């Protein structure tokens, strides 16, 4: 249950940041700042520079009204502090504890543009030498757009701000901050970890053992790398096929090792590997089932493609002004198609469905591979597990999945997000993890009740990648993480550095806000369901209880002879892997996938069984909450998904209430308490319904309170259009053709 996350440990984890800024740097900061013009700094956060007064344009207004205030740059964020007294009551519900609505964590800054007269230019170091812009526009990675006018502030201040603060964020500042950031270890960050139900971090033996046990996998747990003796790239712990020997581990130095991801109840399993599949035979040997291999780079986009596509895609939502927005509205569909982002999502989901088909229908082992073994392999393997294993659709299960496949799996979060804005790392920057979350969102919107977590949870998670505080997203792999955290500790008088995990949501949100992470529509498995399932699958239960040796000689797939030499096996493997882009394959894979989907679709939907996404054109959508939440003109006031969710939450609360009442009654009846009858307590549950008419489609990220209840009327209704071709003469025709039509 989610509430355990937030309510855990009475005392909330107060992050504290230790500064390692050199004395000179600090000295230069010693200029007196007016106290009231500072944000509430986090411990260890240091203000580098500021400019005042700065005019912040309010985004929601066409008339370019703004608010005066101070713009500051610290080692954690760019912050705007308004001169106007903030009305305190403005929606505390979904407040992020680390940064406010006018704060931009430095890692969240995407691009900064300078406004020169009426031109907008991307600011680079060189450009600024000559003149500083009168206006700066900040595009954030969470898709917020800020516009600040510097015309009213002292030129000196503004210049300094631009140079040291906002601009140099791409090297010095960020580096200092990142190296110095630390969360006080004494805080109760990991109290929740003690609980029975927890997010498995896969940083210890037990987690791996437990997950293998849960899926009834039968593989070998490798502990030889616990201090990275085998390889820096490999995780501390991992699982390989049984018959991978110690010599193999040493010989290949971890290259091409098939790493176990997940075991299907039929006994076959999913593996992933980096670079060439040198150990292919090992997997083939594993259960003596056939194995299908798939080189993901054959069909899926490269990480550079992903980055390029996303760069185009995000531009549709980084809107500077209303006119621009409505102009782009006209060619919305074709622009969307041209950037190819939705198609990449579709391709990933399709690939995952293909793997699912192999595991589920053909019960063959699958080995996915790519050069790094930690980008698209992570996307596909985690999607496959989400589709097949309902455990990963719970909140804790999903977090464990991300830990297993992405964090322990060695996805290079630091390089891919390039939080340090390093020039030399630009090429390795790519939103691979976001692509995965997009795919999850597609599954979520198609099969909502199958997921315990909400859309809001996914959106928040996608934002958290750019908050440079969490150990989860700060490193490239296990050894990197271990090295950095260990290296920092001696120089500090405190204990070892201990960045919190992003899963410790109390670092960012209070309990009430965390309630929004659960999906009220989640169809939780009832006891009834569980017993039904058992009776439904007696066969599997029996199979699973058998030692794997019992089906080492599979009857129907017995074409692999025991004594077959490994060469033959490799050939055999190649022959049956129908994805190998061989045009000679007997049947086109697409038709098989289609059939697989249709067969599944024809059966009644079981939210705790296998889930497949519909991939047809209209089914792949834009993640509205994430991308449209900050754009005023598309907020549906009084509508949007929250209208449904609040209604459902309300009903759920009533059901809950009735249940507890029933319990009370049951107790009363059995214990025969005298006079303990209660009239139905009509406690109005804390719900959103009362105010749902006032909420908007960007709930909970933006409150509509500040906005006028006026509809957004398209400003450019001029028909770009249209009617140029065939319809040309139709447009000028009269509605009621007075001329007699020839009867055909």
For the segment 647-686, give every residue that binds another protein (CB under 8 A).
647-649, 651-662, 665-666, 668-669, 672, 674-681, 683, 685-686
Distance CA(112)–CA(119), nearest Å, equals 13
When asked if residue 733 is in the footprint of another protein (CB under 8 A), the reply is: yes
Query: What is the distance of C-alpha 718 from the center of its chain?
Result: 38
For every residue of 282-338, DSSP letters joined together read HHHHHHSS-EEEEEHHHHSPPHHHHHHHHHHHHHTT--S-HHHHHHHHHTHHHHHHH
Q: Min. distance of Cβ 658 from another protein in angstroms?
A: 4
Dihedral sign from CA coordinates of 170, 437, 406, 340: negative
For every residue of 642-656, DSSP letters joined together read HHHHHHHHHHHHHHH
Q: Which is nearer to another protein, 67 or 648 (CB)?
A: 648
Q: How many CA atoms lie within 13 A of 492 on its CB side?
A: 23
Contact 552, 288 (CB under 8 A): yes
Tokens of 373: 């073994």
Q: Which is nearer to another protein, 555 or 683 (CB)?
A: 683
Region binding another protein by CB under 8 A among candidate stretches 282-290, 369-377, 420-428, 728-736? 728-736
Q: Is 523 left (phi over 0), alpha (psi -120 to 50) or beta?
A: beta
Distance CA(217)–CA(252), nearest Å, equals 24
Q: Min. distance of Cβ 512 from another protein in angstroms?
A: 10
Give the footprint of another protein on residues 194-253 (CB under 8 A). none
Region binding another protein by CB under 8 A among candidate stretches 298-306, 327-335, 434-442, 569-577? 327-335
Q: Which is nearer to another protein, 328 or 489 (CB)?
A: 328
Q: Min. distance of Cβ 29 from another protein in angstroms?
A: 43
Q: Which is nearer to another protein, 493 or 719 (CB)?
A: 719
Three-state secondary structure along 676-743?
CCCCCCCCCCCCCHHHHHHCECCCCCCCHHHCCCCCCCCCCCCCCCCCCCCCHHHHCCCCCCCCCCCC
Region binding another protein by CB under 8 A among candidate stretches 12-20, 339-347, 386-394, 434-442? 339-347
Give the footprint of another protein on residues 696-715 (CB under 8 A). 697, 709-714
Q: Which is nearer to another protein, 346 or 404 (CB)?
A: 346
Total residues contacting another protein (rule CB under 8 A)?
Answer: 114
269-274, strands of its sheet edge to edge: 259-263, 269-274, 365-370, 291-295
Give the footprint of another protein on residues 121-140 (CB under 8 A). none
Q: Which of 36, 153, 41 is nearest to 85 (CA)?
A: 36
Give the footprint of another protein on residues 623-652 (CB under 8 A). 624, 628, 633-641, 643-644, 647-649, 651-652
Give the footprint of another protein on residues 427-466 (CB under 8 A). 446-449
When asked if residue 521 is in the footprint of another protein (CB under 8 A), the reply is: yes
Question: In the set 523, 544, 570, 580, which binds another protein (CB under 8 A)?
Answer: 523
Q: Which is nearer to another protein, 371 or 606 (CB)?
A: 606
Q: Which is nearer to another protein, 324 or 427 (CB)?
A: 324
Q: Min. distance of Cβ 105 from another protein in angstroms?
A: 27
Distance CA(517)–CA(453), nearest Å, equals 6
Q: Min. distance of Cβ 651 from another protein in angstroms?
A: 5
Give the footprint of another protein on residues 3-42 (CB under 8 A). 3
Q: Which is nearer to another protein, 336 or 570 (CB)?
A: 336
Q: Which of 712, 694, 711 is nearest to 703 (CA)?
A: 694
Q: Min. distance of Cβ 655 from another protein in angstroms?
A: 5
Tokens of 304: 């550079």
Contact 73, 169 (CB under 8 A): yes
Q: Min. distance of Cβ 329 from another protein in angstroms?
A: 5
Contact 283, 291 (CB under 8 A): yes
Contact mark string toward another protein, 524..563, x via CB under 8 A: x---------------------------------------
Q: How many CA atoms lie within 13 A of 2 on its CB side?
A: 24
Question: In the set 26, 172, 581, 722, which binds another protein (CB under 8 A)?
Answer: 722
Q: Which is nearer to another protein, 236 or 692 (CB)?
A: 692
DSSP letter (8 states) at residue 525: P
Q: Min. distance of Cβ 585 from another protein in angstroms?
A: 20
Q: Which is nearer to another protein, 363 or 692 (CB)?
A: 692
Region binding another protein by CB under 8 A among candidate stretches 115-123, 217-225, 232-240, 322-330? 322-330
Contact 403, 283 (CB under 8 A): no
Relative to beta strand 365-370, strand 269-274 is: parallel
Distance CA(461)–CA(406), nearest Å, equals 14
State yes or no: cis peptide before 43, omega within 30 of 0: no
Q: Min. distance of Cβ 592 from another protein in angstroms?
A: 15
For every residue of 170-185, DSSP letters joined together read GTHHHHHHHHH----T
Question: In the set 4, 302, 311, 687, which binds another protein (CB under 8 A)?
Answer: 687
Q: Which is nearer to another protein, 190 or 596 (CB)?
A: 596
When asked if residue 491 is in the footprint of another protein (CB under 8 A), the reply is: no
Q: Min. distance of Cβ 578 from another protein in angstroms?
A: 20
Q: Which is nearer to another protein, 546 or 662 (CB)?
A: 662
Contact mark string toward another protein, 147..166, x via CB under 8 A: --------------------
When asked if residue 337 is in the footprint of another protein (CB under 8 A), the reply is: yes
Q: Which is nearer to another protein, 575 or 659 (CB)?
A: 659
Q: Which is nearer to another protein, 481 or 632 (CB)?
A: 632
Q: Min. distance of Cβ 142 from another protein in angstroms?
A: 18
Q: Which residues pair with 80 in a beta bridge?
A: 71
Question: In the set 20, 606, 614, 707, which binds another protein (CB under 8 A)?
Answer: 614
107: helix, strand or coil: helix
Q: Min. distance of Cβ 637 from another protein in angstroms?
A: 7
Q: Which is nearer to another protein, 63 or 130 (CB)?
A: 63
Give the footprint of another protein on residues 592-611 (CB under 8 A). 594, 597-598, 601, 605
The torsion of the CA quartet 407, 411, 416, 422, rounded to 10 degrees, works out to 80
Q: Which is nearer to another protein, 144 or 569 (CB)?
A: 144
Question: In the set 63, 130, 334, 584, which binds another protein (CB under 8 A)?
Answer: 334
When asked if residue 332 is in the footprint of another protein (CB under 8 A), the reply is: yes
Q: Which of 185, 240, 214 is nearest to 206 (CA)?
A: 214
Distance CA(607)–CA(611), nearest Å, equals 7
Backbone angles phi, psi at 478, to 5 degrees: -55, -45
Backbone angles phi, psi at 442, to 5 degrees: -60, -45
């Amino acid at each position: 249950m989610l509430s355990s996350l937030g309510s855990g440990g009475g005392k909330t984890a107060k992050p504290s940041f230790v500064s390692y800024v050199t004395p000179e740097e600090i000295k230069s900061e010693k200029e007196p700042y007016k106290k009231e013009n500072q944000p509430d700094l986090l411990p260890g956060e240091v203000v580098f520079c500021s400019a005042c007064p700065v005019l912040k344009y309010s985004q929601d207004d066409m008339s370019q009204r703004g608010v005066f205030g101070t713009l500051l740059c610290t080692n954690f964020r760019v912050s705007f502090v308004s001169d106007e007294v903030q009305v305190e009551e403005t929606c505390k519900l979904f407040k992020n504890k680390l940064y406010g609505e006018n704060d931009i964590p430095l890692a969240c800054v995407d691009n900064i543009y300078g406004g020169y007269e009426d031109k907008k230019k991307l600011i680079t170091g060189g450009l600024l030498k000559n003149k500083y812009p009168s206006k700066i526009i900040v595009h954030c990675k969470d898709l917020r757009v800020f516009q600040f006018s510097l015309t009213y502030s002292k030129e000196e201040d503004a210049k300094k701000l631009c140079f040291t603060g906002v601009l140099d964020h791409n090297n010095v500042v960020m580096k200092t901050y990142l190296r110095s950031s630390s969360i006080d270890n004494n805080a109760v960050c990991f109290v929740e970890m003690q609980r029975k139900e927890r997010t498995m971090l896969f940083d210890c033996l037990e987690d791996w053992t437990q997950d293998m046990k849960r899926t009834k996998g039968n593989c070998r747990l490798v502990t030889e790398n616990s201090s990275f003796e085998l390889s820096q790239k490999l995780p501390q712990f991992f699982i390989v096929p049984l018959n991978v020997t110690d010599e193999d581990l040493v010989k290949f130095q971890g290259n091409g090792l098939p790493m176990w991801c997940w075991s299907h109840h039929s006994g076959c399993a999913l593996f992933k590997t980096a670079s060439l599949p040198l150990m292919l035979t090992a997997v083939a040997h594993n259960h003596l089932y056939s194995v299908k291999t798939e080189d993901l780079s054959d069909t899926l986009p490269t990480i550079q493609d992903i980055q390029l596509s996303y760069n185009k895609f995000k531009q549709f939502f980084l809107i500077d002004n209303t006119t621009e927005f409505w102009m782009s509205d006209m060619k919305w569909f074709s622009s969307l198609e041209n950037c190819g982002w939705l198609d990449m999502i579709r391709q990933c989901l399709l690939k995952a469905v293909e793997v699912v088909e192999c595991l589920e229908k053909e019960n063959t082992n699958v080995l996915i591979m790519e050069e790094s073994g930690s980008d698209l392999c992570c996307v596909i393997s985690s999607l496959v597990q989400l589709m097949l294993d309902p455990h990963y659709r719970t909140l804790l299960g999903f977090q464990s999945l991300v830990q297993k496949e992405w964090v322990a799996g060695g996805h290079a979060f630091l390089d891919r997000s390039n939080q340090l804005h390093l020039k030399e790392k630009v090429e390795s920057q790519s939103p691979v993890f976001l692509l995965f979350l997009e795919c999850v969102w597609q599954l979520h919107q198609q099969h909502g009740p199958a997921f315990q977590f909400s859309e809001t949870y996914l959106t928040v998670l996608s934002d958290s990648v750019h908050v440079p505080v969490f150990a989860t997203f700060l490193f490239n792999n296990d050894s990197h993480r271990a090295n950095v955290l260990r290296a920092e500790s001696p120089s500090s008088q405190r204990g070892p550095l201990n960045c919190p995990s992003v899963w410790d949501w109390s670092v960012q949100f209070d309990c009430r806000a965390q309630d929004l992470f659960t999906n009220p529509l989640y169809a939780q498995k009832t006891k009834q369901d569980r017993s039904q399932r058992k009776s439904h699958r007696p066969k599997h239960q029996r199979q699973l209880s058998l030692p794997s040796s019992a089906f080492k000689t599979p009857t129907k797939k017995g074409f692999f002879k025991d004594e077959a030499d490994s060469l033959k096996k490799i050939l055999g493997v190649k022959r049956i892997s129908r994805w190998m882009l061989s045009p000679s394959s007997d049947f086109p894979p697409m038709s098989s996938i289609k059939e697989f989907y249709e067969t599944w679709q024809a059966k009644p939907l079981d939210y705790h069984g296998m889930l497949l996404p519909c991939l047809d054109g209209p089914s792949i959508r834009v993640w509205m909450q994430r991308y449209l939440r900050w754009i005023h003109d598309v907020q549906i006031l009084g509508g949007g998904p929250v209208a449904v969710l609040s209604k459902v939450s309300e009903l759920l609360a009533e059901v809950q209430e009735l249940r507890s009442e029933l319990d009370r009654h049951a107790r009363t009846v059995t214990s025969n308490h005298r006079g303990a009858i209660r009239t139905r307590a009509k406690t109005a549950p804390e719900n959103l319904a009362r105010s749902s008419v006032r909420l908007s489609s960007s709930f909970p990220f933006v409150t509509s309170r500040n906005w006028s209840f006026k509809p957004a009327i398209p400003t450019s209704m001029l028909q770009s259009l249209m009617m140029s071709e065939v319809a040309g003469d139709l447009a000028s025709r009269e509605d009621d053709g007075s001329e007699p039509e020839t009867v055909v």
